[in-house]
Structure formats: structure tokens, C-alpha cells
Amino acid sequence: MTIKERFVQLCDVASTTGEALENVVMKLLEQNNFNIQDVCGQGYDGAANMSGRYNGLQSRIQRQNERALYVHCHAHCLNLVLVESAKSNKHFVDFFTVVERLYTFIANSTKRHAAFVDTQKAMNPDQRVLELQRLSDTRWSCREDALKTIRKVLPAALQYLRDLRECDPPDLAAGEAKMLLSSIDFEFLLCLEIATPVFMETSVASKVLQQDDLDLAAAYSVLDGVLKRVVELRRDNQFSQIYNTATTIAEENDISIPTNIPGRQRKVPAKLKYTSKSAREDDAVQTLEEYYRGRTYYTFLDRLRQELERRFYGEGKTRDIVMSLQRLTDPEQWKDIGQGVDTAHSLCEFYGLQGEETNLQTELRVFHASYKCPKRTVKSMLKVFKENNANVIFPTLFKLIKIYATLPVSTAAVERSFSKLKLVKSRLRYQCGQERLSDLLLLVIEKDIGIDKK
């Protein structure tokens, strides 16, 4: 048993207000004989006209059907988590600015790009030449490639900038090369070593969240893993390894390591002298490593964890229902008779199953005791239902699991449709009408559906 996401048609939208979009959606449902009361989920990005609490499309749809839960695209949410984390302190703001400036300086000039390639070949003749990657403004998880590339070509980039600064006669770009050299300091190396592993792990999660057949249970399993990794990284020994690596790279590339703690040192108030150490701004630090651990490393990871918890595990009616549905897949929640009372009550009340609370709890205890799902995912539970014809034995549970499986995880499939649009609406089809364009898109996107030629 599988859940299919299908392209229906392309709609022309004259206005992008919540009211106008609502009219378009309702007209589309009516034309295709869909009942608004059968809608159990809706997924959009975070634009105000889509996700607005009062006048957004999701709120207008919920006024007609309160059970049409709005799920913010998880891939977009993860991007926003990384965006906010990068703003956690001035060191990371400066770091990403320098990374973008370095790419612009080298890649936007054919002459400088060729010279940079020659420098790589001279320093590493047996290795493949790497191109600097641009930082994406919308897909922050893709910054992983840019950071990994910089780590590999940093010695060549520094050597090229030094050669450009010292060349005779002076190059017109020597001044900018000098500013970039001064910006690539020890703090830059430290931020590079901190951000790269974090972005590598979140990139894996981002790719998983964009899969077509992913359900919310599997998505939250991945997010639980990311959150666990963030907590594990927030340890003194982890930062010590990162700090030592940055120090080694700085020494190998003749980058000076600061000896004094940056900024004005504040005196610790008497009432705080005997409290435990933390990353507070008022605490005094004794060494440079302590300074960067508190002001840079812990601040970055703390903001990352806070944003993950707020955007994926925060409060709200939708999240309460989603978390209740998530507990249906966990056998540990239904071992004893008294467990899961609140979860069963909230789900039955929300989905109009009053009086089925006791039956739902009984079905869950018997189901998890009878069948062992290899993974705690909706897909594995649906497979058990199909193989054992268990939907007859557990009707209430089966209905809720189907709803949970139908809730959207991301809008990646919708965005892929726009990628197909660029291929279909070429220069030769520029004057293609709306109806024909929609039909062509349907043929291209839904290739797996057989065509009845009779």
C-alpha cells in the first residue's frame, strides 16, 4: 500500500492574495469532483500569503475544513534553521560574507579564475582541479559543497592571493586580494571547521526530506537524529579537536594565531564568581580557546538546537496532532493499559471519532504486540496492514495511519514540477495556451501512468 502524490493541473493566478488563491483552489477541487471535507492535509512554504495565521491560504482552507492540517515544508524549515543559526554571532556573519566575496573575486573574472586553476595545478599536480562553489541564498543545505571545496583548495587560494598582491607591476585587483587575505584569519578557519561538519549532516537530512515517498514518521526519525547529533557535538572535547585542527591549518598556511582574547574584558561580578561556567556574555574567560568555545561554538550550536526544537517540535494545535499521530508508530507508548489516554482522546476528538478512544488504545496495544514492524514508520505499518489484511481487525487505527501517511512532508515534488515547466515551455512553445501547457506538463510529470489510446 503506497501513497501517491499526483499532478492535477497548472492554474493561472491573477492575484497572489490568500483570498484569490482560495478561490483558485476551490474552483480546482470543484472541477475535478474533489470534496473539501476529504482534505486531511495541506503543505506550502512559509510565504505569508500561504502560511498566514489569519488571511493565509492555509487558514482560509481550515475555516472550511478544520481537519485540513497545515504542514510547513520540512525542507524549507531546515533551511530556515540554518539561516538563523548563521546569524547567531558576528563570527559566522563575517565568515559567510568572506566566503561569498572569495567566490565572487575569483569566479567572476576569467583571468583570475585561470590563474587560480594554474595555482592549483602547480601545487597539486596529481589532484583534480576544484571550482569554488557559490553560496545558495535559498538552499542553505547546499552550502555544504561550497564549504568542503574551500577546505580543500584553501592553501591554493591563499597562495594565489599572495602572488596577486606581490606581483610586479601591481595588478589592479591587488588591493582587494590584500583585503581578502586579511579576512581569512584564524577566526575564519575556526568557523570553517565548525560549520562544515554541521552542514554536511544537515545536508543529508535535507536530501532525505525531499524524497517523494517519505512520510512524517520517517521524517521525524531523521530530525531526531540531527537533533541528537547537535547535542553530541556540544562537548568540550569536540571543540578541542576542532580548535586544534584550526590551529594546525593556521600554522601550515602562515596565518597568525591571536594571543590575546578579542574585545574588552569585563570583570566578573562577585555574585557570579562561584557559579558554573556557561556561554553567558558576562562570564570572564581565561584562555582564547574558552573564548571561542563560548562565544562562537556553543552559541552556534545552541541557536541550531533551539531553532530545530522551535520549528519542528514547537507548540501549536497542528504540531500537537502531528506528535499524537507520531506516537501511533511507537510500541513503547502502548505497552500498559494506562498509557496513551491523552493521545487517543485528542486524536479521536479532532477527527470526529468520539467514543472510539478505548477501542483505539486496545487496537494499538494488540497491533504492536501482534506485529513487529522493522522500522517505526508509517510505511512499515501500512505494509503490515496490507500483508495481514489487518485493516478489518483494526479499523480505527487504520484510518488514522492512512491520514498520517497522507500528510505532506515537503513541497519538493511541486518544485520539481516547475523544473519540468522550464523544459516544456521552451522558446518554440512560447505562445502555448494555458490548457495545452497544463496537459503537456501532465504527460511529462506523470510518466508512470499508462495512456489509453483507444
pLDDT at 276 over 60: no
DSSP state, 77? H
HEC states along 364-389? HHHHHHHCCCCCCCHHHHHHHHHHHC
CB neighbours of residue 242 within 10 Å: 21
Residue where the block lists cell 586579511: 182
pLDDT at 452 over 80: no
Residue 378 within a domain: no
Q: What is the pLDDT of residue 170?
A: 80
Q: Is the CB of residue 318 less than 8 Å from the CB of residue 394?
A: no
- Per the structure, the complete domain to which residue 177 belongs is given by 80-261+277-313
Q: What is the pLDDT of residue 279?
A: 45
- Quote the cell numbers at residue 160: 594565489
Judged on CB neighbours under 10 Å (0-12, 13-18, 19+), 6 is exposed
pLDDT (mean) for 47-51: 89
Strand partners, 71: 43
Domain assignment present for 113: yes
Residue 35 pLDDT: 93
330 pLDDT above the threshold of 60: yes
pLDDT top residue among 275 and 408: 408
For residue 36, give every residue at least 6 positions away whose Cβ sits within 8 Å of its Cβ, in sequence order, or none.
26, 29, 61, 64, 65, 68
pLDDT of the residue at 1: 62
Residue 365's Cβ-side half-sphere holds a number of Cα atoms within 13 Å equal to: 15
C-alpha dihedral over 164, 96, 410, 373, to 10 degrees? Answer: 100
Torsion from C-alpha of 55, 61, 63, 64, nearest 10 degrees: 150
- What does pLDDT average to over the chain? 86
Q: In this structure, is residue 350 part of a structural domain?
A: no
Report CA-CA distances (Å) from 275 to 142, 268, 280, 283, 371.
Answer: 41, 11, 12, 10, 52
Residue 194's φ and ψ, nearest 5 degrees, are -80, -45
How far from 9 is each of 29, 32, 406, 443, CA to CA, in Å? Answer: 11, 10, 20, 11
pLDDT value at residue 194: 94
Contact 110, 132 (CB under 8 A): no
The pLDDT of residue 445:
85
Res 227: pLDDT: 92
- Check pLDDT > 70 for residue 273: no
Q: What pLDDT band is residue 282 in, cutting at 50, 70 and 90?
A: very low
Looking at the structure of the chain, the number of domains it has is: 1
Q: Is residue 44 part of a domain?
A: no
Residue 300 counted as domain residue: yes
Asked whether residue 124 is assigned to any structural domain, the reply reads: yes
pLDDT band at 30 (very low <50, low <70, confident <90, very high): very high
Whether 178 is covered by a domain: the verdict is yes
Write the pLDDT tens digit of every residue in 77-120: 998 898 889 888 899 999 999 999 999 999 989 999 999 999 99
